[in-house]
Chains A and B, each alone.
Chain A
Amino acid sequence: MSAEIVLFLAVAVYGAAGLAVGAAFVTVAAGRVLSAPGASQPVSFTFGARLLILPGAAALWPYVLLRWRRALRQP
């Protein structure tokens, strides 16, 4: 397999994983991650805000996943 194909596949896999994690994050977790521990209500987001956050969540998905996991472990 040539270096070009390896590079292309790596970018494609990272991007696809980013889109999946990012879409899930902005849909269900973004507000919860920013809430203070023990807060009854998650931080609110409009649909437009979720849409604007998506590219960043997709690009930084490993870190986003880490923070999401940390938030789930909080009481």
Chain B
Amino acid sequence: MSVGFRAVQWNRDKIVYDAILIAATAIYIAGFAAIVWTANPPKNLPDAIDVWIRAFGTAAFLMLTVILCIGPLARLDRRFLTLLYNRRHFGVLTFFVACVHGWLMIEWFAAQDALHTLMPELMTLADYGKFIGFPFKALGIAALLILFLMAATSHDFWLAFLTPPVWKALHMLLYAAYAMVVMHVALGIMQYDRSPLIPAMLIVCFGAVAALHLLAIWRERHGDRGPTLTADGWIAVGPPASIPDKAARIVVAPGGERIAVFRDGSEIGALTNLCAHQNGPLGEGRIIDGCVTCPWHGYQYRLADGCAPAPFTERLATYRVRLSGGTLEVDPHPLPPGTPASIHLPNGAPLA
């Protein structure tokens, strides 16, 4: 959360996260190159460059796979939220690793004095209709451009400038980039390298991404049973005690919008489930220091009115809440962001 912008809002967690990330990436790339170099020593400069191309290329592919797995993993098991916290730095590092892969490819052409063949290879339109012989490098370049756009707009400034829905939509292009990278590998290296490791890596990684996303969607839909509505159209949530203290229950409005109903002692409030920062699942967060705290990046909002505490300016839509015959009910129609709407339970209301 910020009223002004700094390059990076460093804290201990981010430093540790980045240190582990950089170390793991360096170990993988160095280890990959060492193993291939030992097993099959390069005979000339292009062969040596090729080893590094593969090391950086597979590293970027694996990093992209992990990045795409973090979201559904965090939804399936809260312990993975730690990985999600600094995912943007993960993405930026992936872009730099992919950049080195691309630069090494140019070096490989240059080492063979064949740089002049690269552009014609990309510009021969007839080849784009072929399966074998498809200019797969074009797919890699397109994916790299998407990664650049994402890395370049990863700063919080862009979230505020483009607005969260546009920013989120832009960053969903990662899925398109991943599909292009999968095709880049399938139509490229897999066509002339007969090692079973490459198809195995492709199948396992793509399968993991697809399976985790399907599992997370299934789990979310399974939990989203249709709302029980009162005669006047409010959503019946249940007794106040059914909401854990300093946490939330998520209910689904008839239109499909998810509403997080929080309880902080005897205070009950309902907010949209989407954090104003990156649409994080607010209802999976907790109340910390008196504020609803998003599990993704720690953005905070007051339960009473959905406003971030001063000097911050973010505001969320709130929902009216009432206690009727011992059952909490929520009006499914959102109030304008920042409208006070929480209630205090009367003394003696059962909370345990």
Indicate whether A and B interact. Answer: yes
Q: Quick check: A56 and B4 within 8 Å, CB to CB?
A: no
Q: Quick check: B153 and A60 within 8 Å, CB to CB?
A: yes
Give CA–CA (A49, B158) in the complex, Å.
Answer: 11
Q: Which of A35-68 contact B (CB under 8 A)?
A: 43-46, 48-49, 51-53, 55-56, 58-60, 67
- Whether, in the assembled complex, A24 has its beta carbon less than 8 Å from a beta carbon of chain B, the answer is no
CB-defined contacts of B111 to chain A, threshold 8 Å: none
Q: Quick check: A4 and B5 within 8 Å, CB to CB?
A: no
Give CA–CA (A33, B7) in the complex, Å.
Answer: 18
Q: Quick check: B161 and A49 within 8 Å, CB to CB?
A: no
Judged by DSSP, the binding face of B is helix
Q: Which of B90-144 contact A (CB under 8 A)?
A: 119-120, 123
Q: Quick check: B5 and A43 within 8 Å, CB to CB?
A: yes
Give CA–CA (A74, B147) in the complex, Å.
Answer: 34
Give CA–CA (A43, B4) in the complex, Å.
Answer: 6
CB-defined contacts of A49 to chain B, threshold 8 Å: 5-7, 155, 157
Q: Which of A11-31 contact B (CB under 8 A)?
A: 30
- How close is A63's CB to chain B, nearest CB, in angstroms? 8
- How close is A16's CB to chain B, nearest CB, in angstroms? 17
In this complex, how many residues of chain A approach chain B with their Cβ under 8 Å: the count is: 21
Q: Which residue of B lies closest to A59 (CB)?
A: B152
Q: Quick check: A53 and B157 within 8 Å, CB to CB?
A: yes
Q: Which of B150-201 contact A (CB under 8 A)?
A: 151-153, 155, 157-158, 160-161
**Looking at the complex, which one of B7, B119, B120, B158 makes contact with A51 (CB distance below 8 Å)?**
B7
- Whether, in the assembled complex, B8 has its beta carbon less than 8 Å from a beta carbon of chain A, the answer is yes
- Whether, in the assembled complex, A3 has its beta carbon less than 8 Å from a beta carbon of chain B, the answer is yes
Give CA–CA (A46, B74) in the complex, Å.
Answer: 33
CB-defined contacts of A60 to chain B, threshold 8 Å: 153
Q: Quick check: B5 and A46 within 8 Å, CB to CB?
A: yes
Q: Quick check: A34 and B160 within 8 Å, CB to CB?
A: yes
CB-defined contacts of A56 to chain B, threshold 8 Å: 149, 152-153, 155, 158
Give CA–CA (A30, B123) in the complex, Å.
Answer: 38
- Whether, in the assembled complex, B80 has its beta carbon less than 8 Å from a beta carbon of chain A, the answer is no
Q: Which residue of A lies closest to B118 (CB)?
A: A4
Interface hub of B3, B120, B152 (most chain A Cβ within 10 A): B152
Q: Quick check: A4 and B148 within 8 Å, CB to CB?
A: no
CB-defined contacts of A30 to chain B, threshold 8 Å: 157
CB-defined contacts of A59 to chain B, threshold 8 Å: 148-149, 152-153
Question: B265-286 toward A: CB 8 Å interface, digit per residue (1/0)?
Answer: 0000000000000000000000
Q: Quick check: B152 and A55 within 8 Å, CB to CB?
A: yes
Give CA–CA (A55, B161) in the complex, Å.
Answer: 14
Q: Quick check: A52 and B161 within 8 Å, CB to CB?
A: no
Q: Quick check: B4 and A53 within 8 Å, CB to CB?
A: no
CB-defined contacts of A43 to chain B, threshold 8 Å: 3-5
Give CA–CA (A38, B251) in the complex, Å.
Answer: 39
Q: Which residue of A lies closest to B149 (CB)?
A: A59
Q: Which residue of A lies closest to B151 (CB)?
A: A55
Residues of B that sit less than 8 Å from A by CB: 3-8, 119-120, 123, 148-149, 151-153, 155, 157-158, 160-161
28 interchain pairs (CB within 8 A)?
A4-B119, A4-B120, A30-B157, A33-B161, A34-B161, A43-B3, A44-B4, A44-B5, A45-B4, A45-B157, A46-B4, A46-B5, A46-B6, A48-B7, A49-B5, A49-B7, A49-B155, A51-B7, A52-B7, A52-B8, A52-B157, A53-B5, A53-B155, A53-B157, A55-B151, A55-B152, A59-B153, A60-B153
Residues of A that sit less than 8 Å from B by CB: 3-4, 7, 30, 33-34, 43-46, 48-49, 51-53, 55-56, 58-60, 67
